């Protein structure tokens, strides 16, 4: 493991006002989600339906995928299957090569981030323009998105202004979001009009009809897909749902959970290519079938990528998306990524307070905090935990299972904290970092209880 959440978070929180701003901004989004959810008396029922439809889908996934493929082919869509990120990237590259295409636009797709498609294509001399405003900003800055719905949420408008001044020649120091968005609109409209191939993600794929739905607020997926001669939609296989009528449940849940909007501006239903257009769907596994076989973790595949768990998470809000060093950050990322690479992502399930807020806001009722706790156990038993933490846990386990020893150490500890505070309050103690140590009481609760119980009786 080269980078760890705690180390990256330390860098993020070094700028205290910015950390506070990040925390408050995301909490504001969470509050908007609450308002939208409370506007529907049936909200909890809706979550239950969302959860049950996804459970059903996972229990019959192989059949639904076959049904989807059959119907998509009948609609004139070409269907591809990729076992992993490499195969996915090769399939996309093959289509691009076949058409000798140079100009490509891409709307937001977390799957292509997961597969590092942009880097792969760039390596082969093909430039991809990300068209979601937030993604374009971070692409200019050569950074990954820090949030799956709000890719540039780690940046202030001054940062965006400087980036646009450099790349789009906007006025230096003009930080007006309206002005900056207009500049991006003009810049990207040119890109759309010129492009020959559009890549989009998929929010939902419908087995019954062989079509798929893409949701955006900006309209960038549509601008790209309806202009280009070739449209490639990339999806993880868990995006499937059984029937079109089930979209009602998910479209009601998605935007309300994500940003507090009643629905995204555009919910586009693609079923057939337009005349003379080629439409491709790439269905990707990349570890998902393995996750499906892990009983404790399989229902992480129900995720609809709304990011409600990010916005509510006290750790995410105060550590920023980049500290998770993966395409999907936040609590859901911390239960998905150990499946992809347990060693590299062994730190992530520990980047949580296990407070459970993520599970409470999840629109499809994934037990995120329980899975974080379960991953910790798997990671420790597989030996992917730092020696210091392992020794500490072993020591604590010994102490807590020996009451006499526990009482003795407690007594010594309380006494030494009072007599030699510097022994505890020093840099060698990680608990002292950015924390005040509590004042040590003279007696333990047990001593107090025994004394008082005797007095009473």
Partner 1 sequence: MSARENILNAIARNQPELIDVPVIDQNAVIRYEDKYVQFKTVLESIGGKAELISDLAVLKQQLIADKQSGNFVVNAIAELGDIDNQIAKLPAFELEKIEKAYIKGTVGVAENGAVWVFESQMINRLVPFICQHLILVIEKKDIVDTMHQAYEKLDVSKEGFGVFIAGPSKTADIEQSLVIGAHGARSAKIYVIE
Using CB under 8 A as the binding rule, the residues of this chain from 241 to 270 that contact partner 1 are: 242, 244-245, 247-249, 251-252, 259, 261-270
Distance from C-alpha of 237 to C-alpha of 286, rounded to nearest angstrom: 9
292 near partner 1 (CB under 8 A): yes
Q: What does each C-alpha distance from 362 to 107, 119, 311, 313 come to in angstroms?
A: 24, 32, 11, 12
189 near partner 1 (CB under 8 A): yes
- Nearest by Cα to 205 from 71, 84, 48, 93: 71
CB 93 → partner 1: shortest distance, Å?
Answer: 15
The string of DSSP letters for 316-332 reads HHHH-GGGG-SSS-HHH
Task: Figure out which of the listed residues 293, 383, 388, 438 binds partner 1, where binding follows CB under 8 A.
Answer: 293
CB 143 → partner 1: shortest distance, Å?
Answer: 14
Q: Which is nearer to partner 1, 152 or 379 (CB)?
A: 152
First-to-last CA distance in the chain? Answer: 58
94 near partner 1 (CB under 8 A): no
CB 40 → partner 1: shortest distance, Å?
Answer: 6
* Residues forming beta bridges with residue 198, ordered by sequence position: 105, 231
Task: Figure out which of the listed residues 152, 202, 207, 258 binds partner 1, where binding follows CB under 8 A.
Answer: 152
- Cα dihedral 357, 299, 287, 309 in deg (nearest 10): -20
Q: What is the DSSP letter of 196?
A: S
Q: Which is nearer to partner 1, 263 or 393 (CB)?
A: 263
450 near partner 1 (CB under 8 A): no
CB 347 → partner 1: shortest distance, Å?
Answer: 27
- Which range of residues in 5-13, 55-63, 115-123, 326-334 is near partner 1 by CB under 8 A? 55-63
Q: Is 2 exposed, middle or buried (0-12, 13-18, 19+ CB in 10 A)?
A: exposed
Q: Which is nearer to partner 1, 254 or 315 (CB)?
A: 254
Interface positions, 204-233, toward partner 1 (CB under 8 A): 206, 209-211, 217-220, 222-223, 226-227
Q: Which is nearer to partner 1, 9 or 160 (CB)?
A: 160
Q: Which is nearer to partner 1, 162 or 417 (CB)?
A: 162
CB 333 → partner 1: shortest distance, Å?
Answer: 20
Q: Which is nearer to partner 1, 39 or 403 (CB)?
A: 39
Task: Figure out which of the listed residues 67, 113, 278, 285 binds partner 1, where binding follows CB under 8 A.
Answer: 285
86 near partner 1 (CB under 8 A): no
Task: Figure out which of the listed residues 1, 73, 193, 386 binds partner 1, where binding follows CB under 8 A.
Answer: 193
Distance from C-alpha of 221 to C-alpha of 264, rounded to nearest angstrom: 12
CB 98 → partner 1: shortest distance, Å?
Answer: 18
Q: Which is nearer to partner 1, 41 or 125 (CB)?
A: 41
Interface positions, 120-149, toward partner 1 (CB under 8 A): 131-134, 137
110 near partner 1 (CB under 8 A): no
429 near partner 1 (CB under 8 A): no
Task: Figure out which of the listed residues 283, 303, 348, 362 binds partner 1, where binding follows CB under 8 A.
Answer: 283
Number of residues that bind partner 1 (CB under 8 A): 93
Q: What does each C-alpha distance from 218 to 84, 138, 147, 309, 380 come to in angstroms?
A: 30, 17, 17, 23, 44
Q: Which is nearer to partner 1, 237 or 350 (CB)?
A: 237
Half-sphere exposure of 21 (CA within 13 A, CB side): 10
* Residues forming beta bridges with residue 128, ordered by sequence position: 104
- Which range of residues in 181-189, 347-355, 367-375, 424-432 is near partner 1 by CB under 8 A? 181-189
Task: Figure out which of the listed residues 4, 13, 19, 75 binds partner 1, where binding follows CB under 8 A.
Answer: 75
Per-residue x/- marks for partner 1, 34-53, CB under 8 A?
------xxx--x--xx--xx
Q: Which is nearer to partner 1, 72 or 351 (CB)?
A: 72
Contact 297, 375 (CB under 8 A): yes
Distance from C-alpha of 430 to C-alpha of 115, rounded to nearest angstrom: 36
CB 288 → partner 1: shortest distance, Å?
Answer: 8
Q: Is 81 exposed, middle or buried (0-12, 13-18, 19+ CB in 10 A)?
A: middle
Contact 267, 212 (CB under 8 A): no
Contact 157, 177 (CB under 8 A): yes
Q: What does each C-alpha distance from 238 to 55, 234, 349 come to in angstroms?
A: 11, 12, 22
102 near partner 1 (CB under 8 A): no
Q: Which is nearer to partner 1, 71 or 345 (CB)?
A: 71
| Per-residue buried b or exposed e for 383-420, using 16+ beta carbons within 10 Å of the residue's own CB | ebbeeeeeeeeeeeeeeeeeeeebeeebeeeeeebeee
- Phi and psi at residue 60, in whole multiples of 5°? -135, 30
């Amino acid at each position: 493991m080269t980078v760890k959440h705690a180390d990256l978070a330390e860098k993020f929180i070094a700028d205290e006002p910015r950390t506070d701003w990040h925390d408050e901004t995301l909490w504001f989004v969470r509050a908007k989600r609450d308002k939208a959810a409370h506007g529907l008396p049936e909200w909890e029922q809706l979550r239950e339906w969302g959860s049950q439809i996804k459970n059903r889908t996972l229990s019959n996934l192989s059949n639904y995928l076959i049904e989807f493929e059959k119907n998509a082919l009948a609609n004139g869509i070409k269907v591809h299957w990729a076992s992993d990120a490499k195969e996915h990237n090769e399939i996309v590259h093959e289509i691009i090569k076949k058409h000798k295409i140079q100009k490509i636009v891409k709307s937001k797709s977390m799957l292509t981030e997961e597969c590092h498609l942009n880097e792969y294509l760039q390596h082969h001399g093909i430039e991809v323009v990300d068209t979601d405003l937030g993604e374009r900003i971070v692409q200019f800055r050569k950074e990954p998105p820090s949030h799956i719905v709000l890719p540039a949420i780690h940046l202030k408008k001054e940062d965006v202004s400087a980036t646009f001044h450099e790349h789009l020649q906007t006025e230096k120091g003009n930080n007006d979001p309206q002005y900056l968005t207009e500049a991006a609109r003009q810049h990207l409209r040119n890109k759309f009009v010129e492009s020959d191939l559009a890549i989009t993600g998929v929010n939902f794929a419908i087995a019954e009809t062989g079509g798929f739905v893409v949701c955006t607020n900006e309209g960038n997926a549509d601008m790209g897909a309806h202009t280009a001669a070739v449209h490639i939609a990339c999806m993880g296989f868990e995006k499937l749902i059984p029937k079109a009528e089930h979209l009602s449940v998910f479209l009601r849940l998605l935007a309300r959970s994500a940003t507090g909007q009643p629905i995204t501006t555009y919910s586009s239903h693609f079923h057939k290519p337009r005349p003379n257009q080629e439409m491709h769907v790439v269905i990707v596994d990349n570890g998902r079938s393995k996750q499906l076989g892990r009983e404790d973790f399989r229902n992480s595949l129900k995720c609809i990528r709304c990011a409600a768990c990010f916005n509510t998470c006290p750790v995410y809000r105060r550590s920023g998306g980049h500290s998770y060093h993966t395409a999907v950050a936040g609590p859901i990322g911390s239960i998905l990524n150990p499946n992809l690479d347990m060693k590299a992502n062994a730190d992530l399930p520990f980047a949580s307070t296990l407070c459970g807020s993520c599970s409470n806001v999840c629109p499809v009722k994934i037990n995120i905090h329980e899975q974080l706790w379960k991953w910790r156990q798997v990671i420790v038993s597989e030996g992917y935990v730092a020696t210091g933490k392992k020794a500490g846990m072993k020591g604590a386990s010994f102490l807590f299972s020996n009451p006499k020893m526990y009482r003795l150490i407690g007594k010594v500890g309380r006494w030494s904290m009072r007599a030699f505070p510097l022994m505890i309050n020093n840099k060698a103690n990680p608990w002292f970092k950015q924390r005040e140590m509590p004042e040590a009481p003279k007696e333990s609760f047990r001593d107090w209880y025994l004394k008082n119980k005797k007095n009473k009786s």
